[in-house]
Structure 1
Amino acid sequence: MDATETSDVTEVTEETGSRQQAGPPDDAAGGPGELRHTSSPCLSPDGLLLACVVTERTGYPRAVQRPLGPDGFKGAGPERNVVLPVEGPVRRVAYSPDGRWLACEVAPDGGERERIWLVTTDPDDHRAYALNAPGDVTEQIVCWDGGRLAVTAFDAEGQAEGRLVDPETGEITVIDRRMGGALKHSRDGAALFRVGARGNRELLRIMPDGRWWPLLPTDTGSTTDAGEVLDAGGDDRPMRMVVRSDYSSDRVGLLEVRADESGTTSWPIAYRADADLDRVEVSYDRRTAALLWNVHGGLSEIEILDLSRRRPRVIARPQLPEVVASAPTLTADGRLLAVTVESLDQPPHVVIYDVRRRCWIGESPAQPDPGPELLRFTARDGLELSGWLYRADPEGGPAPTVVHLHGGPEGQSRPGYDDIARRMLDEGVNYFKPNVRGSTGGGRTFGHADDRYGRFAGIDDVEDALLHLVDEEIADPERVVVSGRSYGGYLVNATLVRHAGRWRGGIAACGMSDLQTFYRDTEPWIAAAAYPKYGNPLQERELLREVSPLRRFYRINVPMLFIHGAHDTNVPVSETNQAVEELRSRDVPVDVLLFEDEGHEFVKLANRQLLGDRVVQFCQEVFDVRAQVDGEE
């Protein structure tokens, strides 16, 4: 990319450059007052550098680079910030195959619309190159295809354009354009492009000349949403891919697919009856793959596959304690693996595994204390549910309890780091994180169990979770609060309406209050993808009205705390505003916490401290009032 193109290039001066950080990127805890989260790692192809995202007590999450020593972090060089000419959290970083470029995905002002900037790995080069094109609303890093960066860009109408960008010249090659789709991988110009709405996604294989075909035959309700091209194919050989899919299965695993103009052949490489495949990462030489498995209700396991053989085989299973792992990255030759791990008492931090020596180098993942407890219970219609329970006093009787609901609906409550749960435990409050129907991790059938008219049963799962806690003498029924974020915030609104009288308070963060206004105001690609989950706004208006809590907010008579980010375009802040207005019109106690510098996620640690303070204060007030009433009786 020509550095004379001043509209696209920004030079960062030495004064704004990074400080030299002595502590390693994997020092998640740091010293007193130096809390650090490290996540989203990327190893340079030669394994000499590690880039990752660092979050500290002040500022947005930022990108850093650090030279690695022979034993990973041991003997590593000083950390160097990647300084970008934009304020906002960095969400992903990716090295080019030659190690010269680092791509950074940033959300300006903490919102939901991303931009991509390129920097070189030369510590003396302070320039940053913007990749946005006219008409782009948001852009996302996909991967590197040789010397070109593959990206997905959305316009204001929701059309997704998969493209390759040459960082040296700025030349753009368009791979494909689809409404609501996304480019997922590209190699040698051959690509995988995702199409379809949530719960029914598939991949198209696209040839360098623009011809395309569905990758797999139709399997209604299956999700084939990610993969990597191993070989672009040619006149004498088929195109080869590995894809993450629950095709013809109730569980998500890894398929190998070979396809040419005569047809497609696929077969399973890695499937488990008791687990779903979270992520697959393939080394650039296409000989090694790292698989992250979602097991035992949300814990993680790792497998390393040798892809060079005719029949891929497992060559390593790095030992993990009861933690959650994410964002695997391999060196080009598959020699090193870096991954983010976390647990309730360990913030996200990056660890490194030596694949050849079969050992963790530097700090290895540690067993959490307290360890997570998976609680299983049965819904009123017989469906088995589960959730993660943290008890303030494991030997005590019924106690004040918060039931917290994850987003999605396809999200999952997992025993990862949870700063709010830790605060609740310190206050003597139990914290339960159920996985209601529709959650990830329970298989394909379970994931579809809340689709459209199944929404009512999904809402009832929330009450069933509470009833189980009461029956088991875990929760005091007079001191229970329901909380949730995003879809979980919607469930808070919905259960307070549908199960009025069960809860003593509600905390709704970024939650929908009316699905019809949500469809109207959210991003167009988010709305279109949600139709199979919530219902079609044209064909199923009656359903959407019935499952929209706002219409029955007159049933809510308990205190509520609403939390939102001002830059949230996923669930716009108008969803909170109309809920607050309705409750205040009836003098229901309402508190609102609005973050002016956040979007759908609350990523600044200073903001999360404030969030924790307000949640603790709200629960103390609700529980203390109820305790006083009980004492008077």
Structure 2
Amino acid sequence: MTLIPRETLFGAPVAIAPSLSPDGRRFAYLERSDGGLVLRVGWRRRWRSTVPMFGGAEAGPSSYTWCYDSRHILFPRDESGDENWHVFSLDVETGQTRDLTPWPGVAAGVAALSPRHPTQILVLMNRRDPAVHDLWRVDVETGESREVFRNTGFMRFIVDDDFTVRLAQEALEDGAVRYLRLTAPGTWEPFLDIPAEDALTTVITGVTRDGRAVHALDSRGRDVARLVRFDLESGAMDVVAEEEGEDIVEVLVHPETFRLQGYVTHRLRRIWHSCDEETARDLQVLADTHGGDLHILSRTLDQAWWVVSHARETAATRFSLYDRQARRLEPLFSARPELDGLPLVPMQSLSLPTRDGLEMVSYLSTPPQPPILQGSPITEDTGGGAPWPLVLLVHGGPWGRVAWGYDAATQWLVNRGFAVLAVNFRGSVGFGKAFLNAGDREWGGAMQQDLIDAVDWAVSAGVADPRRLVVMGGSYGGYAVLRALTETPELFACGIALCPPVDLIGFLRNVPPYWSRMAEIFARRIGDHRSAEGRKMLKARSPSSHLDRISRPLFFAHGANDVRVSRDDADGLAAVLRTRGVPHLYALFENEGHVLVRPENIATFHALAEEFLSAVLKTPAQPFDLATVPPAVRLSGNMLGLDPGNP
């Protein structure tokens, strides 16, 4: 099979993130430029004639949003992954950019925008106290700002479209949360108590336009989240929508009236449900026209124009402009047109059993040779290709999920001859609260056993060669890699970990100060480092306690500016492996944080991973010269010809 170039898969996309200004006159999107992304802006009627406004290889935005004045665009920036995000504005008429939160060391984010105040925004910012975010009101035209609400220890605020604080969320003992209603300045009364078992599956989504009620996703008293409405005065609840056996995970509201229009359930695939006949007609047009999973990205205030995307597993995301009156879609562009015609493979949805009777929604991708999959499990006629070397991809979070759709890492690995299995182990979201809560305090325990059960299935089904198993992941997924190499040291041939927590006690002790309000949630979900019993469990589950068990090759990478996982974890891991002579490769990215974002670093990581896999398993690799590694990447280890005596 011809190797797909890594640059085609992992380089900056050609174009992404199209959106409309609220008045519908302007159009913006991010385009590849100098290896990074540049923001282009123009008129909707002539969207092909947009002009570059801001960005490039070093300073390009990764996301943005329009202000309601349809003149200013907001985007976040931090410094080399330090997660001290500042809020910037761009005036699309003058091209001027401005830091709206220009104080060193602050972490800020947009809290609310409103059509009632088109040139103003609410910003959460920890300028006064690093541990708490106060609410500030900022004028995007002048940059003037003032604190409007002082945070006395809350995790979250709910505001209406007049920028009035209506509710605040606080953490309770044992991981429960409470919403309180502001009845007078400085006076709060309990509004809604959410037990710990529902804390991650019950959330208020917004205030109605009349300010009399809030909508919420609510799992209390049931396993899956439904859509409800709470009266702000009486607290009375009405059920708006519910689906048997599936969480509602996303809500569509009218951009001006805030009227509910639809919602999404997402177990195997994203499924849209409408709340009215008009929206049902729109969703039918959008579903029938392109297929794939639909995402609604942007709409004008009057709903006349929408920007949507359709995602498939065997093609790049395609974006379209929807003329609602004509019920017509106009194609915009593909995120990666260079993928067209390449041998991308489908993703099969599976439901895999755990040893204690749970079901894990998982996705399997294999090289295009036989076997032909006929449901689950795989048929016995494995033909010429299976069993394949297998990569077990472990998602981060862990309170996230893997989903059906195009995934660059999956297509890359399959193109290099691997089968790829991505698993939603217990603790993943979107599969009911019982499945989510089954992961409580099971880091490295039952959550890890789920991963092993998935591998055992792949081997027994004839998909995976038990001698060529790889485990790979980032963040929590990286932790699972280290746990696998220490807890089951003979199972995997090698591992690849990005920014993995190595010492769970240190990880919980050293979280950023603005995470301190979530201490009780972390204690319930991961473990309580404040108690002797909790420390005992966390120490036993920490890879740092068992590094002497690692014998299989390991490639791991870390961002020097990571504020979530200490660089000391990675340096200490490298020192132990170096002393013990374990085959390893360590890449330290001096200008990154917990996630790699710079295009040259993303390219380097995957090039090194490919070289590592080829060295261990003799799989095909695109030529790569270590001399091309960027200066900000420090390599050490005893593989790929590196000097093991030079840390």
Q: Does 1:378 align with 2:350?
A: no
- State which of 242, 247, 260 in structure 1 corresponds to 2:215: 242
Q: In structure 1, what residue type is equivalent to 2:223?
A: D
Q: Structure 2 vs 1, CA of residues 614 and 580 (structure 1 numbering), >3 Å: closer, same or farther? A: same
Q: Does 1:619 align with 2:613?
A: yes
Q: Confirm or deny: 8 A CA contact 2:53 2:92 kept in the other structure.
A: no
- State which of 114, 118, 140 in structure 2 corresponds to 1:167: 140
Q: Confirm or deny: 8 A CA contact 1:144 1:186 kept in the other structure.
A: no
Number of the residue aligned with 2:626: none
Determine helix, strand or coil for the equivalent of 2:247.
strand
- State which of 434, 440, 452 in structure 2 corresponds to 1:445: 434
- State which of 50, 58, 66 in structure 1 corresponds to 2:42: 66
Determine helix, strand or coil for the equivalent of 1:249.
coil
- State which of 92, 109, 112 in structure 2 corresponds to 1:121: 92
Number of the residue aligned with 1:11: none
CA apart distance, 1:604: 3.2
Q: Confirm or deny: 8 A CA contact 2:194 2:202 kept in the other structure.
A: no
> Structure 2: how far apart are the matches of 1:291 and 1:303?
5
Q: Does 1:423 align with 2:415?
A: no
Q: Identify unmatched segments of 5+ residues in structure 2.
A: 1-6, 372-384, 620-647
String of CA shifts for 1:139-176, please: whole Å, max 9, x gaps: 11233132321222235642122332223451324234
Q: Confirm or deny: 8 A CA contact 2:319 2:331 kept in the other structure.
A: no
TM-score, with structure 1 as normaliser: 0.82
Q: Does 1:154 align with 2:126?
A: yes
> Structure 2: how far apart are the matches of 1:469 and 1:319?
33
Q: Confirm or deny: 8 A CA contact 1:292 1:302 kept in the other structure.
A: yes
> Structure 1: how far apart are the matches of 2:523 and 2:83?
21
Number of the residue aligned with 2:363: 388
Q: Structure 2 vs 1, CA of residues 454 and 491 (structure 1 numbering), >3 Å: closer, same or farther? A: closer
Q: Confirm or deny: 8 A CA contact 1:97 1:144 kept in the other structure.
A: yes
Determine helix, strand or coil for the equivalent of 1:76.
helix
CA apart distance, 1:325: 5.3
String of CA shifts for 1:335-377, please: whole Å, max 9, x gaps: 3332454444434554333444444332599999533201221
> Structure 1: how far apart are the matches of 2:583 and 2:300?
54
Number of the residue aligned with 2:569: 575
Q: Confirm or deny: 8 A CA contact 1:149 1:165 kept in the other structure.
A: yes
Q: Structure 2 vs 1, CA of residues 275 and 176 (structure 1 numbering), >3 Å: closer, same or farther? A: farther
> Structure 2: how far apart are the matches of 1:459 and 1:350?
38
String of CA shifts for 1:288-309, please: whole Å, max 9, x gaps: 5565524233x22334545xx9
Determine helix, strand or coil for the equivalent of 1:251.
coil
String of CA shifts for 1:406-461, please: whole Å, max 9, x gaps: 00111111123322222211111111111110001211111111111575101111
Q: Structure 2 vs 1, CA of residues 454 and 423 (structure 1 numbering), >3 Å: closer, same or farther? A: closer
Number of the residue aligned with 2:78: 107
Q: Does 1:565 align with 2:559?
A: yes
Number of the residue aligned with 2:535: 541
> Structure 1: how far apart are the matches of 2:573 and 2:392?
21
Q: Confirm or deny: 8 A CA contact 2:445 2:541 kept in the other structure.
A: yes
Number of the residue aligned with 1:21: none
> Structure 2: how far apart are the matches of 1:279 and 1:128?
32
Q: Confirm or deny: 8 A CA contact 1:194 1:203 kept in the other structure.
A: yes
String of CA shifts for 1:524-544, please: whole Å, max 9, x gaps: 334653332111210221121
Determine helix, strand or coil for the equivalent of 1:90.
coil
- State which of 223, 229, 237 in structure 1 corresponds to 2:207: 229
CA apart distance, 1:402: 0.6
Q: Confirm or deny: 8 A CA contact 1:163 1:173 kept in the other structure.
A: yes
Q: In structure 2, what residue type is equivalent to 1:126?
A: G
- State which of 270, 277, 280 in structure 2 corresponds to 1:300: 270
CA apart distance, 1:104: 1.5
Q: Confirm or deny: 8 A CA contact 2:263 2:274 kept in the other structure.
A: no
CA apart distance, 1:55: 5.0
Deviates more, 1:492-501 or 1:525-534: 525-534
Q: In structure 1, what residue type is equivalent to 2:249?
A: D
> Structure 1: how far apart are the matches of 2:208 and 2:448?
43
Determine helix, strand or coil for the equivalent of 1:137.
coil
Q: Structure 2 vs 1, CA of residues 551 and 479 (structure 1 numbering), >3 Å: closer, same or farther? A: same
Equivalent residues, number:
577
Q: Confirm or deny: 8 A CA contact 1:453 1:543 kept in the other structure.
A: no
Q: Confirm or deny: 8 A CA contact 1:55 1:604 kept in the other structure.
A: no
> Structure 2: how far apart are the matches of 1:56 and 1:418?
22
Q: Does 1:336 align with 2:305?
A: yes
Determine helix, strand or coil for the equivalent of 1:187.
coil
Number of the residue aligned with 1:319: 287
> Structure 1: how far apart are the matches of 2:571 and 2:364?
32
Deviates more, 1:130-139 or 1:467-476: 130-139
Determine helix, strand or coil for the equivalent of 1:142.
strand
TM-score, with structure 2 as normaliser: 0.80
> Structure 2: how far apart are the matches of 1:371 and 1:273?
28
Number of the residue aligned with 2:224: 251
Q: Confirm or deny: 8 A CA contact 2:555 2:612 kept in the other structure.
A: yes
Deviates more, 1:582-591 or 1:147-156: 147-156
Q: Does 1:45 align with 2:22?
A: yes
Q: Confirm or deny: 8 A CA contact 2:19 2:28 kept in the other structure.
A: yes
CA apart distance, 1:137: 2.2
String of CA shifts for 1:207-235, please: whole Å, max 9, x gaps: 795654444344442233351222354xx
Deviates more, 1:407-416 or 1:604-613: 604-613
Matches for 1:463-474 after TM superposition, within 5 Å:
463-474=452-463
> Structure 1: how far apart are the matches of 2:310 and 2:170?
31
RMSD: 3.4
Q: Confirm or deny: 8 A CA contact 1:353 1:360 kept in the other structure.
A: yes
Q: Confirm or deny: 8 A CA contact 1:91 1:107 kept in the other structure.
A: no
Identity, in percent, stands at: 24
> Structure 2: how far apart are the matches of 1:274 and 1:365?
34
CA apart distance, 1:110: 4.0
CA apart distance, 1:248: 3.6
Number of the residue aligned with 2:629: none
Number of the residue aligned with 2:524: 532
Q: In structure 2, what residue type is equivalent to 1:255?
A: V
Q: Confirm or deny: 8 A CA contact 1:138 1:154 kept in the other structure.
A: yes
Q: Does 1:284 align with 2:255?
A: yes
Q: Confirm or deny: 8 A CA contact 2:121 2:140 kept in the other structure.
A: yes
Q: Does 1:484 align with 2:473?
A: yes
CA apart distance, 1:501: 0.8
Deviates more, 1:75-84 or 1:450-459: 75-84
Q: Confirm or deny: 8 A CA contact 1:38 1:349 kept in the other structure.
A: no
Q: Structure 2 vs 1, CA of residues 596 and 463 (structure 1 numbering), >3 Å: closer, same or farther? A: same
Determine helix, strand or coil for the equivalent of 1:466.
helix
Matches for 1:122-141 after TM superposition, within 5 Å:
122=93, 125-132=94-101, 134=103, 137-141=106-110
Q: Structure 2 vs 1, CA of residues 248 and 556 (structure 1 numbering), >3 Å: closer, same or farther? A: same
Deviates more, 1:130-139 or 1:209-218: 209-218
Q: Structure 2 vs 1, CA of residues 66 and 349 (structure 1 numbering), >3 Å: closer, same or farther? A: farther
Q: Confirm or deny: 8 A CA contact 2:158 2:207 kept in the other structure.
A: no
Q: Does 1:496 align with 2:485?
A: yes
Q: Confirm or deny: 8 A CA contact 1:439 1:447 kept in the other structure.
A: yes
> Structure 1: how far apart are the matches of 2:10 and 2:593?
26
Q: In structure 1, what residue type is equivalent to 2:300?
A: T
Q: Confirm or deny: 8 A CA contact 1:253 1:276 kept in the other structure.
A: yes
> Structure 2: how far apart are the matches of 1:143 and 1:52?
22
Q: Structure 2 vs 1, CA of residues 179 and 348 (structure 1 numbering), >3 Å: closer, same or farther? A: farther
> Structure 1: how far apart are the matches of 2:168 and 2:326?
36
Determine helix, strand or coil for the equivalent of 2:465.
strand
Q: In structure 1, what residue type is equivalent to 2:22?
A: P
Number of the residue aligned with 1:412: 401
- State which of 600, 604, 611 in structure 2 corresponds to 1:606: 600
Q: Confirm or deny: 8 A CA contact 1:36 1:57 kept in the other structure.
A: no
